[in-house]
């Protein structure tokens, strides 16, 4: 799923913070308070899904979670930490001491017991808890992203999880393609399935239920057609015409381990215009630049610029046309893992690719009246180049 430019501000935000002095002092602790279902740093830290917020901290190379009685047993079995502490135990201690068993009370007790005075928290840490911890005298340092820099470099198992999610994305895509192949076009220009106009919604049902049946979660799948494609975050709605571009952008998340797949393909049911065919082959050529260049040490900005240059040379400029952004106006790629969009980016920002990065390569071209094309594969960056983790053919007309 393409990433819009706004996130650049976030990256620059991080880059502009003082990251030089990040060496962890021995007595500093890392602290997270979040639900692992909604926070990918927490999921990375503990390795299992919990729907409600809880405490994780890391001190002197040991990892701890503080769990309610309800989650204690599951945490002991599943959490990838050194020690599971009992929340109710700390609540009882506080009440015995006549203090309310609040979150801040529990944190204070936890850290005082261990002589911890300095805490490092992620950028998205609760501003309220941050204020409360400082009011209690803790030295709190808010770290710019990435909080766990090692998250960028995928371990072999993480690569397998992502590859598996890509396989499921492809199953979903294939269900959509199969449905499209069962449609007929009528003189009104629309595609019909079993006598009714085929809609984006019907196609999404085919794709999403196929993915769901595998146990993956397909949220906000994009299946847009025609001019809808020119708004790349348009999820797609309504009837679909024959002979026009249909973009599938499918990013299922495993409900077991949380890793995403991310796959985009563009097809036409019927015949594509010559212009659209030219756009399609140009986007393919743009993607090939990515496949050819991406390797350890490369600056993502360079790849992105070379693709833009190719597109311009081929007659496909990027910019405002009749008040609308057209051309190639999103990033070439983004990191993929426990977040659908994570570092590094391949975009008009400096970002050095490293072995172990897993990134999308998804150039696109979008013009009103012609349609849009986006092709997205996922590659693992290696010392010598990259390995395409996506095993899915590309074809335009079906």
Sites for a copy of itself among residues 340-359 (CB under 8 A) = 340-341
365 binds a copy of itself (CB under 8 A): no
DSSP letter at 332?
Answer: S
Cross-strand pairs, 210: none
374 binds a copy of itself (CB under 8 A): no
In angstroms, what CA-CA distances link 366 with 189, 202, 277, 280, 359?
21, 24, 13, 10, 22
Residues 166-185 binding a copy of itself (CB under 8 A) are none
259 binds a copy of itself (CB under 8 A): no
CB of 314 to a copy of itself, least distance (A): 23
CB of 328 to a copy of itself, least distance (A): 12
Nearer to a copy of itself, 87 or 240 (CB): 87
Tally the residues of the chain.
398
Among 201, 292, 350, 391, binds a copy of itself (CB under 8 A): 201
Closest CA to 359 of 348, 375, 345: 345
Residues 262-301 binding a copy of itself (CB under 8 A) are none
Among 80, 139, 255, 281, binds a copy of itself (CB under 8 A): 255
Q: Please say whether the beta carbons of 153 and 356 come within 8 A.
A: yes
Binding segment toward a copy of itself, per CB under 8 A, in 206-214, 284-292, 352-360, 384-392: 206-214
Is the C-alpha dihedral spanning 226, 232, 238, 239 positive or negative? Answer: positive
CB of 152 to a copy of itself, least distance (A): 18
State the residue for tokens 């391949």.
Answer: 346
Among 24, 60, 73, 238, binds a copy of itself (CB under 8 A): 73
* Measured distance CA(346)–CA(28) in Å, rounded: 33
309 binds a copy of itself (CB under 8 A): no
Among 148, 160, 174, 231, binds a copy of itself (CB under 8 A): 231
* Measured distance CA(106)–CA(97) in Å, rounded: 12
DSSP letter at 397?
Answer: B
Closest CA to 192 of 180, 203, 200, 184: 184
Binding segment toward a copy of itself, per CB under 8 A, in 100-108, 179-187, 305-313, 356-364: 100-108
3-class DSSP state of 189: coil
Binding segment toward a copy of itself, per CB under 8 A, in 130-138, 180-188, 309-317, 390-398: 130-138
Neighbouring CB atoms inside 10 A of 25's CB total: 7
Binding mask of the shown chain, residues 4 to 23, with x at each position contacting a copy of itself by CB under 8 A: xxxxxxx-xx--xx------
Neighbouring CB atoms inside 10 A of 276's CB total: 23
Neighbouring CB atoms inside 10 A of 24's CB total: 12
Residues 39-68 binding a copy of itself (CB under 8 A) are 49-54, 67-68
Binding segment toward a copy of itself, per CB under 8 A, in 86-94, 238-246, 267-275, 355-363: 86-94
Among 146, 176, 226, 232, binds a copy of itself (CB under 8 A): 232
3-class DSSP state of 392: coil
């Amino acid at each position: 799923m393409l990433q819009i430019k706004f996130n650049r501000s976030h990256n620059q935000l991080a880059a502009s913070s003082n990251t030089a002095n990040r060496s962890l002092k021995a007595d500093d602790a890392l602290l997270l308070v979040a639900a692992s279902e909604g926070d990918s740093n927490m999921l990375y830290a503990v390795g299992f899904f919990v729907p409600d917020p809880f405490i994780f901290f890391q001190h002197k190379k040991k990892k701890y979670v503080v769990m309610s009685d309800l989650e204690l047993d599951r945490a002991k079995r599943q959490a990838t930490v050194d020690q599971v502490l009992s929340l109710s135990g700390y609540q009882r201690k506080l009440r015995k001491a006549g203090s309310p068993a609040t979150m801040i009370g529990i944190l204070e007790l936890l850290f005082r017991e261990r002589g911890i005075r300095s805490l490092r928290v992620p950028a998205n840490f609760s501003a309220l808890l941050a204020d409360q911890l400082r009011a209690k005298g803790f030295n709190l340092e808010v770290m710019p992203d990435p909080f766990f820099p090692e998250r960028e470099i995928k371990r072999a198992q993480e690569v397998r999880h992502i590859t598996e999610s890509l396989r499921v994305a492809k199953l979903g895509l294939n269900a959509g393609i199969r449905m499209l192949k069962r449609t007929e076009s009528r003189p009104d220009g629309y595609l019909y399935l079993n006598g009714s106009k085929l809609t984006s919604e019907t196609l999404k049902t085919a794709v999403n239920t196929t993915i769901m049946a595998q146990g993956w979660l397909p949220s906000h799948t994009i299946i847009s057609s025609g001019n809808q494609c020119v708004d790349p975050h348009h999820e797609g709605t309504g009837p679909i015409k024959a002979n026009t571009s249909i973009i599938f952008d499918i990013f299922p998340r495993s409900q077991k381990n949380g890793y995403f797949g991310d796959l985009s393909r563009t097809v036409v049911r019927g015949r594509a215009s010559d212009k659209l065919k030219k756009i399609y082959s140009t986007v393919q050529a743009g993607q090939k630049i990515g496949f050819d260049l991406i390797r350890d040490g490369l600056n993502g900005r360079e790849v992105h610029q070379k693709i833009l240059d190719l597109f311009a040379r081929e007659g496909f400029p990027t910019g405002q046309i009749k008040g609308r952004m057209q051309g190639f106006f999103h990033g070439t790629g983004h990191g993929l893992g426990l977040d659908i969009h994570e570092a590094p980016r391949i975009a008009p920002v400096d970002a050095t690719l490293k072995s172990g990065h897993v990134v999308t390569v998804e150039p696109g071209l979008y013009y009103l009246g012609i349609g849009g094309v986006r092709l997205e594969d996922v590659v693992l960056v290696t010392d010598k180049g990259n390995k395409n983790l996506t095993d899915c053919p590309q074809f335009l007309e079906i």
